Amino acid sequence: MNEIHRPEDLDRATIERLARAESRVVLAPGLLAALAESRRATLDDLDGDRPVYGVNTGMGAMAGVRLDAEARARQQNTLMAGRAAGSAPWLRRIEARAVLAARLRTLLHPAAGVSPGLCEFLVALLDADVVPAIPRRGGAAGEIIPLAHAGAVLIGTGQVLSPGGNGEAAAGQNAALALAAAGLAPRPFEAKEGVAFLEGVPGLTGLAILAASDVRTLLAQVLEGVAAEHAVIGASTDPLHPALADSDELRDVLDALRERYRSSGRTGALQAPVSFRVTAPALAVALRAAAGLEAAADRALTAVTDSPAHLDGRFVGTFGFAGTDLAATAAALTTALVHLAELGTARLHRLLDDARTGLPRQLSDSPGLHAGMVTVHKRAVGVAHRLRRFTGPALIGPMETSLGQEDVQSFGFEAAECLGEAVTGLRDVLACELLAVHQARLLGADVPAGSWAEILPVSTADRPYGHDLDELIGWLGG
| DSSP code string of 121-160 | HHHHHHHHT--B--BSS--SSTTHHHHHHHHHHHTT-SEE
The confidence band for 38, taking pLDDT boundaries of 50, 70 and 90, is very high
- CATH for 206-477 is 1.20.200.10
Q: Is the pLDDT of residue 62 over 90?
A: no
Q: What are the helix and strand counts (H, E) for the chain? A: 17, 6
Confidence of residue 118 (pLDDT cuts 50, 70, 90): very high
At 97-112, the pLDDT tens digits run 999 999 999 999 999 9
Q: Which of 59-73, 86-100, 189-203 is predicted with the least confidence, judged by mean pLDDT?
A: 59-73
265 pLDDT higher than 70: no
Selection from 385, 330, 392, 323 nearest residue 143 by Cα: 323
Q: What is the pLDDT of residue 165?
A: 62
Helix or strand holding residue 25 (H, E): strand 25-27
* Res 368 pLDDT > 70: yes
Q: Give the per-residue pLDDT at 454.
A: 94
Spell out the domain ranges in the chain.
2-199, 206-477
Predicted confidence at residue 93, as pLDDT, reads 95
Beta-bridge mates of residue 2: 25
What value does the mean pLDDT take over residues 294-316?
A: 95
What pTM was estimated for this model as a whole? 0.95
**Of 218-227, 359-368, 396-405, where does mean pLDDT reach its minimum?**
396-405
Mean pLDDT for the stretch of residues 426-448? 97
Report the C-alpha gap between 313 and 311 in whole angstroms. Answer: 5
Cα 125 to Cα 136: distance, rounded to the nearest angstrom:
20
Per-residue pLDDT at 268: 74
* Mean predicted confidence (pLDDT) in 365-383: 97
Report domain 2-199's class.
Answer: mainly alpha
The mean per-residue pLDDT over the stretch 221-231 comes to 96
Average pLDDT, the chain: 94
CB contact at 8 A, 268 and 162: no
Q: Determine the average pLDDT of the residues in 201-211.
A: 98
* Adjacent-strand bridge partners of 4: 27
Model pLDDT for residues 88-99, shown as the tens digit of each residue = 999 999 999 999
In this model, does residue 54 exceed pLDDT 70? yes
Can you spell out the DSSP letters for 416-477?
HHHHHHHHHHHHHHHHHHHHHHHHHHHTT---PPPGGGGGS-S--S---HHHHHHHHHHHHH
Q: Residue range 290-303: average pLDDT?
A: 97
Whole-number percent of the chain with pLDDT over 90: 81
Mean pLDDT within 170-182: 83
Position 49 scores a pLDDT of 84
pLDDT recorded at residue 153: 96
- Residue 289 near residue 340, CB atoms below 8 Å: no
Task: Look at residue 315 and give its three-state secondary structure.
Answer: strand
- Give the pLDDT band of residue 264 (cuts 50, 70, 90): low
Which residues have a Cβ under 8 Å from the Cβ of 388 and sit 6 or more positions away?
A: 338
pLDDT at 443: 97
C-beta separation of 238 from 357 below 8 A? no
